[in-house]
């Protein structure tokens, strides 16, 4: 019976203090009755190996004890859906993008890696870990307290079907937004062409700027993207609903635009600068600093582009093949 005693002792550990002895006495009596019945059936005293299946069938000590305890939860089923939405949003729209940005910088920025050598690279993630820990801790604490307070019934019971948000069709494109986009693209394109921006040399306030030989390619490529953007906005005006085709076109335009800007940012865009009151050395320093700043900012173009493309791909998946 040593095995039974060990089992009962283990169950006892998890039981509420004021019921321990009572519950164990009753459970002990049941187990011993089962064992006696089995012994009469087999005609001999049960061995530990024969007692073991009886105890295993009874359940693990913690599970058995758990059935005597009141059902408890940190955040009950009434509030858990809200908690879950908040935590998921926190991760999806804040912590995961933050991590992706950090990874992007760590992978693509040699300057960042040089400033944070070895373990310091991971130490630079400390604010992220702190944000994760604090946001999880305080959200969980707030919801656990809310679940135990009077406000819980206010949140759960005080609602009105009329105050529920209207059903929003996420595939509908707002006409106002489309008209605004069309206006911006047309105005930018018109200004772009008006300024003869395809030239490589510009004279501004007595300063002569010469841009990289890649500039004219960038200019014409941007014109093509803008025209595609105008075509897309016209399609969206005629049918203000995302379709697989228009959503794919949006993805293509965004991808192409960000790739184009990334390429420009890394192309030593400013080649030379000259002004009557600026020395050649100062002008060269300025050009070098400017191009270095552009090259190191390229990572942000990549990150923002990746986020935009992510949402574009999500839109295509949402629209589905039949839309």
Question: Contact residues for other proteins (CB under 8 A)?
Answer: 19, 23, 25-27, 29-34, 57-59, 63-64, 67-68
Shortest reach from residue 33's CB to other proteins, in Å: 4
* Whole-Å CA distances, 3 to 7, 8, 32, 60: 6, 9, 11, 13
At which residue do the structure tokens 């679940």 appear?
A: 147
57 vs 162, beta carbon nearer other proteins: 57
26 vs 282, beta carbon nearer other proteins: 26
32 vs 292, beta carbon nearer other proteins: 32
Shortest reach from residue 32's CB to other proteins, in Å: 7
d(CA 246, CA 169): 16
Calculate helix-pair angle for 96-108, 126-148, nearest 10 degrees. 180
Shortest reach from residue 2's CB to other proteins, in Å: 19
Q: Which residues pair with 211 in a beta bridge?
A: 270
19 vs 213, beta carbon nearer other proteins: 19
For residue 3, give both structure tokens. Answer: 């095995």
Shortest reach from residue 25's CB to other proteins, in Å: 7
Output DSSP code: residue 273. Answer: E
Nearest of 299, 290, 284, 297 to residue 269 by alpha carbon: 290
d(CA 260, CA 309): 14
44 vs 67, beta carbon nearer other proteins: 67
d(CA 77, CA 304): 38
Shortest reach from residue 12's CB to other proteins, in Å: 14
């Amino acid at each position: 019976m040593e095995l039974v005693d060990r089992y009962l002792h283990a169950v006892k550990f998890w039981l509420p203090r004021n019921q321990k002895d009572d519950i164990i006495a009753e459970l002990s009596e049941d187990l011993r009755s089962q064992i006696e019945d089995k012994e009469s059936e087999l005609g001999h005293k049960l061995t530990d190996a024969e007692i073991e299946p009886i105890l295993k069938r009874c359940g693990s000590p913690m599970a058995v004890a758990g059935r005597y305890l009141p059902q408890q939860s940190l955040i009950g089923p009434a509030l858990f859906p809200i908690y879950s939405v908040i935590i998921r949003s926190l991760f999806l729209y804040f912590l995961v993008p933050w991590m992706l940005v950090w990874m992007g910088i760590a992978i693509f920025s040699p300057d960042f890696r040089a400033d944070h050598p070895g373990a310091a690279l991971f130490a630079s993630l400390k604010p992220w870990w702190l944000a994760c820990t604090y946001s999880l801790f305080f959200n969980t604490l707030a919801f656990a307290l809310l679940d135990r307070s009077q406000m819980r019934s206010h949140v759960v019971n005080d609602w009105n079907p009329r105050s529920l948000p209207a059903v929003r069709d996420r595939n509908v494109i707002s006409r106002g937004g489309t008209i605004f986009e069309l206006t911006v693209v047309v105005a930018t394109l018109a200004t772009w062409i008006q300024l003869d921006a395809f030239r490589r040399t510009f004279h501004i306030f007595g300063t002569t700027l010469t841009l990289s030989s890649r500039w004219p390619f960038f200019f014409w490529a941007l014109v093509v993207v803008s025209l595609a953007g105008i075509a897309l906005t016209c399609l969206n005006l005629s049918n203000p609903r995302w379709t697989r085709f228009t959503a794919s076109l949006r993805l293509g335009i965004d991808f192409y635009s960000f790739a184009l800007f990334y390429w420009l940012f890394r192309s030593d865009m400013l080649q030379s600068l000259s002004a009557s009151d600026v020395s050649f050395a100062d002008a060269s320093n300025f050009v070098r600093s400017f191009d270095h700043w552009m090259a190191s900012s390229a990572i942000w173009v990549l990150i923002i582009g990746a986020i935009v493309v992510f949402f574009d791909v999500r839109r295509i998946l949402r629209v589905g093949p039949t839309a």
